[in-house]
Chains A and B, each alone.
Chain A
Amino acid sequence: MFFDIALYASLIIFFLGMIYKISNWFRRGIGVSAGNIPAPTRLAAAIKGLLRTVFSLKLFTLIKVFVVDVVLQIRVLKEDFLRWIMHMLIYAGFILVLLMHALDGIVTEALFREYESTLNPFMFLRDFFGFLVIVGIGIAVYRRIVMKVPRLKTNPMDRYAIIILAIIMVSGVFLEATKITSYGAYTRMVEDYSDTDDESELRALESLWVKEFDLVSPSVRAPFDAQILEQGREIHEYNCDACHSRPRSAFTGYAVAKIIKPVALGLDRAHASTILWYLHVLACFFGLAYIPFSKMFHIFASPVSLLANAVMDKEKSDPANIATRQVMELDACTHCGTCSRRCSVAVAFRKIGNINILPSEKMAFLKNYVARRTLDDKTLKAVQEGVYLCTNCDRCTVVCPVGINLRDLWFTVKEEMIQKGPPVPLVLSQLSFYRGVDRQDLDPKAYSNPLRRSKAAIADACELVKKPEEVIPLTPMNSKFKDKAALSLQARTFVYCYSCENCTTVCPVVQNYENPEEILGLLPHQIMRSLGLGLRDFALGSNMLWDCVTCYQCQEHCPQGVKVTDILYELKNLAIKEAASSSNRGSPEAP
């Protein structure tokens, strides 16, 4: 009764949870435009896409990916052998235990008529499969706690997954151990199945069970008379043998039974096996019911991600399906950290300390974000920097064991994050190359906004630039700024500038305009002079800084050895830092 209610309750929660989670794939969206496609349209597009794929040659791709990447998980193998072993042990072991032991009434009995859980080979196999899972869990704990795999972060969901599996498996082993030794269980079985009431015969049987079946009995004790054992064996063979192999085959439970032997009687009186049975069964049902809401949902979402990404691409697929896929991919992520391990910019995390730089942590953030879609200012800033600090090298997409198309996901997320909130100075770096090259995939109306806003935020901190009519006092000199600008050896070379204008003459950017000063503000030699005069606002506030193509012609042609390009780089560093600190004091919000 209890079992049935618990089972059906957990099944109902599981199925409702699955429906809820899968419906999220169609209801939620990442990025600026994903929200514009209504859920029914997306569902229809998905069904259409699915049918079209299944009834095409792509079916063979799907089959191949299913075997290679879903079943054999070759992507994990390529990345890390130990991890592959770990995952295969858990995943294969668990499926086998599930089919053979948990679903024995449905699966095993249908396949093998002679099935009894206490009979070999079933008894041995159950322990063996369970043992595989336990070894896998052991490796998982070892990797996260002892080995400390670089950049592998452990969050509460990772801990939950390991703990629930461990509880299920270990409670099973202890349950088995207490049942092996349980005198209560033994006497119940004798009452139910033996054909004798004879005291001495029962004693003989009990003796044999103590000797060979590791029963812990309060009444009979070794050593046993050979004759009695022989008599017990006869009764055993007649009554019990058909259903009971010797427990040493159930090697995990057997080992624990040996250990608990001295306290087995006490445990039995305290109904330890009943308690463990409840624990085991409840853990299983809880795990089942919680699957859709936990990391374990990846059991379903990861294969979907692998299969979908094998047959979809940005150019040809329906945008509705891309939107759906990107939400689904968040559920497929197992937070395994492979992306962060291979990330080209993860080293920045050491210096900047922003965890959102690591792709695996961006995924963790996105999982929460798609559900709520609200961000406080501090988090938004960290996320903006984290998502934009990415060189688009594609490595994360190539190595992701569940085939998530992180390339497209970052493209979408970056755009959403830089279009809102405070301006992101990072857009004024070569990290923006992808935006220029892939401009056709972005909203043309909004394209320039992040750049314009970042430049404006920097210029805002430089008042003099905005007042061309103002007479500038050259004394007293802003010595504080000069000190800052002269941080590095090379930057100090500006003092050698005698305004020959060679730098400006050779500058291809200056040459590109008829009235360069109108567009660029200050020209390179003027910036060098501004530095000399301590005119902070001019040095930091002109467009020239951001329009410098860094070709080093100016620096190469300076007769005085002024490191013009490198100085412009340093000024950019300074301008970004100052804009960041002034925006911390109160940031201009997005339009």
Chain B
Amino acid sequence: MKFALFIGCTIPRRVQHYEVSARAVLGTLGVELVDIREFNCCGYPMKNLDFETSVLFSARNLALAERQGLKVMTLCKCCFGSLKKANHVLKEEAALRNEINTYLAQEGLEYKGTLEVTHLLSVLHKEIGPAALKERITRAFKDLKIATHYGCHALRPSDIMGFDDPTAPVLFDELVEATGAKSIDWSLKLECCGAPLMGINDELSTDLAEKKLKNGKDSGADFLCVGCPWCQAQFESVQEMKTSLEGTNHHLPSILYPQLLGLAMGIDGEKLGMNMNRIDVSGIEAFFS
């Protein structure tokens, strides 16, 4: 199994532990990753400004991966959403594809529209499978209750994303439960973390994150588990801000899925970037069976 790994912009700046842990886990599982240094931003932050520009951003990445005949695997769900959406319209709308290709041609690139875009969680679930993952678990968690946070841009719009059933998804829960942890039911499971509004309407953004944290905690979760750097950065910084400004906190630290899986697979916490989480998650090791 071989993929072009799409890191995006948020991970290298704020959530390096996601990359570190994903590489460690995928390496152990024998998934080969190719780094394409020329990749640029997926185009997600350009969507408010100009859709076509955002498609150009995506298309350049897709063209670079297509040239090497590699499927693109993202870690970020917003990158996933943007690349997948752009890929969809580029495949569907020949006129737009031609126009975008005139820009790409200036640097000798062309996107033909033959590529598939996938996400880390999809690869783990669809290509490897929870059953196979279970076989790799050397120290399963016990009595660990996880609030699984799906992330909007992977799930919706479902007609384009095709990630899982948009109203009753199971993919991420099954992956979490493969580690021995329990993925709890919580009413705001499929809701947004609020990250897209951070910096635009901080109050609203924080409210949305707060609600999720409270709901997760009230539903009995020990940890949140996420598979997107925006969600992770959002949960980390909202809890940090709450602690420093108001002295309160829901004490619901957020762990990245490859960290959770890696720990259960017996990978050393340091190799999973556990010390890089801004809200301490080392307490999770108390749940090893």
Contacts and interface: CB of A to CB of B under 8 A. Distances in A.
Interface stretch (A50-58, A344-352, A478-486, A497-505): A344-352
Interface string A382-419: 00000000011111001000000001000000000000
B192 A551 contact: yes
B287 interface: no
A541 to B, nearest CB: 16
A556 B200 contact: no
Is the contact region of chain A dominated by helix, strand, or loop, or is it mixed?
A: helix
Interface string A550-580: 1111011000000101100110110011000
Contacts of B156: 551-553, 555-556
B207 A569 contact: no
Contacts of B9: 344, 391-393
A428 B48 contact: yes
B29 interface: no
Interface in B186-213: 191-192, 194-202, 204-205, 207-208, 211
B199 A434 contact: yes
B57 A348 contact: yes
B266 interface: no
B103 A433 contact: no
Interface stretch (A167-175, A235-243, A266-274, A435-443): A435-443
Interface stretch (B38-46, B119-127, B140-148, B267-275): B38-46
A347 B233 contact: no
A433 B78 CA distance: 13
Given A437-B199, A512-B204, A565-B157, A573 B48 contact: yes
A352 B54 CA distance: 12
B250 to A, nearest CB: 17
B60 interface: yes
Contact of A556 (B13, B44, B157, B196): B157
A576 to B, nearest CB: 6
A572 B106 CA distance: 29
Contacts of B57: 345, 347-348
A547 B45 contact: no
B162 interface: no
B107 interface: yes
A394 B208 contact: no
Given A436-B198, A553-B156, A555-B156, A431 B12 contact: no
A563 B85 CA distance: 13
A351 B53 contact: yes
A393 B13 contact: yes
Contacts of B40: 343-347
Given A549-B192, A551-B192, A508 B208 contact: yes
B28 interface: no
A309 to B, nearest CB: 17
A431 B45 contact: yes
- A391, A395, A546, A555 pick with most chain B CB within 10 angstroms: A391
Nearest to A565: B157
Contact of B200 (A345, A391, A432, A570): A432
Given A430-B196, A556-B157, A436 B49 contact: no
A380 interface: no
A475 interface: no
Interface string A245-263: 0000000000000000000
A426 B45 CA distance: 9
A391 B45 contact: yes
B13 A392 contact: yes
A435 B155 CA distance: 27
B158 interface: yes
Nearest to A435: B199
B47 interface: yes
Is the contact region of chain B dominated by helix, strand, or loop, or is it mixed?
A: helix
A299 interface: no
B44 A430 contact: yes
A150 interface: yes
A279 interface: no
B237 interface: yes
Contacts of A573: 48-51
Contact of B12 (A343, A394, A435, A570): A394
Nearest to B57: A347
Contact of B49 (A398, A426, A451, A549): A426
Contacts of B200: 427-430, 432, 436, 451, 546-547
A551 B53 CA distance: 21
A570 B51 contact: yes
A395 B199 contact: no
A563 B197 CA distance: 20
Contacts of B37: 342
A425 interface: yes
B107 A395 contact: no
A434 B278 CA distance: 16
A507 to B, nearest CB: 10
Contacts of A429: 45-49, 200
Contacts of A512: 204, 207-208, 211
A509 interface: yes
Nearest to B78: A430
A502 to B, nearest CB: 13
Nearest to B188: A508
Contacts of B93: 489
A425 B49 contact: yes
Interface string A345-373: 11110111000000000000000000000
B56 interface: yes
Contact of B152 (A150, A551, A570): A551
Interface string A37-81: 000000000000000000000000000000000000000000000
B12 A348 contact: no
B14 interface: yes
B166 interface: yes
Contacts of B208: 508-509, 512, 549
B52 interface: yes
Nearest to A399: B37
Nearest to B14: A437
B154 to A, nearest CB: 10
Interface string B70-84: 000000001000000
B107 A549 contact: no
Nearest to B103: A350
Contacts of B45: 391, 429-431, 433
A350 B199 contact: no
B46 to A, nearest CB: 7
Contacts of B197: 547, 549
B50 A350 contact: no
B202 A344 contact: no
B13 A436 contact: no
A436 B238 CA distance: 10
B13 A394 contact: yes
A139 to B, nearest CB: 22
B103 A508 contact: no
Given A344-B9, A393-B13, A546 B201 contact: yes
Contacts of B194: 549
Nearest to A512: B207
Contact of A569 (B13, B41, B48, B198): B48
Contacts of A550: 47, 152-153, 192, 196
Contacts of A426: 49
The 3 closest A-B pairs by CB, nearest first: A432-B199, A393-B9, A552-B156
Interface of A: 150, 342-348, 350-352, 391-395, 398, 407, 425-437, 439-440, 451, 488-489, 508-509, 512, 546-547, 549-553, 555-556, 563, 565-566, 569-570, 572-573, 576-577
6 contacts: A347-B41, A430-B44, A508-B191, A549-B152, A550-B196, A556-B158
Given A547-B200, A549-B192, 11 more contacts: A344-B9, A350-B103, A393-B41, A429-B47, A430-B45, A431-B199, A433-B45, A509-B208, A547-B197, A549-B197, A566-B157
